[in-house]
Amino acid sequence: MFDADEFRSALSQFATGVTVITTLDEEGQPHSMTANAFSSICLDPPTILVCVAHGTHTHGYVENTGRFGVNILKQQQQELGAYFAKRPEDRTDDVEYHYSESEDGVPVLDDSLVFFRCEVLGSHVYGDHTIYVGAVKELRRNESGAPLMFYDSRWYNPAEE
């Protein structure tokens, strides 16, 4: 068998892109969380999934609103990826970012590569996470650029290896 550390370390060998999940808090204000547990499910109908830990604020906000945004980060947004991975009370650094509003008010993180606006179609609780299946209702793209990546528990730029 293997222990939790071995499992975590093995999982870290899967290189991923990095997203920021955007939601609205209880006061209708934008809220963001860095996430790499994102996947496409199918093209028709357009469907994706994200896995959200129960200890996050984002989990409560998605439960309350039934909708969320997925913003795919580009390499230049590494600082933002690190910022939104912190607990809100620790987000004290001076990081610049702006939101736009999507059709139903879900925040769009400006300058990301891609934005998907999603409505929760279904969810599955497993352990301390919920898998949210999202119907993609709106898609926005910016000029293409290199994606931000995460691998081996760190930011990863294949061009620099």
Ligand X SMILES: Cc1cc2nc3c(=O)[nH]c(=O)nc-3n(C[C@H](O)[C@H](O)[C@H](O)COP(=O)(O)O)c2cc1C
Min separation Cβ 44 and ligand X, Å: 25
- On whether the CB atoms of residues 145 and 76 are closer than 8 A, the answer is yes
HEC secondary structure over the chain = CCCHHHHHHHHCCCCEECEEEEEECCCCCEEEEEECCEEEEECCCCEEEEEEECCCHHHHHHHHHCEEEEEECEHHHHHHHHHCCCCHHHCCCCCCCCEEECCCCCEEECCCCEEEEEEEEEEEEECCEEEEEEEEEEEEECCCCCECEEECCEEECHHHC
Q: Which is nearer to ligand X, 35 or 113 (CB)?
A: 35
Query: Of the listed pieces 55-63, 95-103, 106-114, 115-123, which binds ligand X according to CB under 6 A?
Result: 55-63
Q: Which is nearer to ligand X, 34 or 71 (CB)?
A: 34
Instruction: Answer yes or no whether residue 8 interacts with ligand X by CB under 6 A.
Output: no
Q: Which is nearer to ligand X, 62 or 108 (CB)?
A: 62
CB of 37 to ligand X, least distance (A): 3
Total residues contacting ligand X (rule CB under 6 A)? Answer: 17
Residue 71 as a binder of ligand X (CB under 6 A): the answer is no
Contact present, 102 and 117 (Cβ < 8 Å): yes
CA distance 96 to 40: 29
Stretch that binds ligand X, among 54-62, 71-79, 107-115, 119-127 (CB under 6 A): 54-62
| Stretch 19-48: interaction string toward ligand X, x if CB under 6 A | --------------xxxxx-----------
87 touches ligand X by CB under 6 A: yes
Q: Is 83 in the site for ligand X (CB under 6 A)?
A: no
Using CB under 6 A as the criterion, which residues of the chain lie in contact with ligand X when the complex forms? 18, 33-37, 51-53, 56-58, 85-88, 150
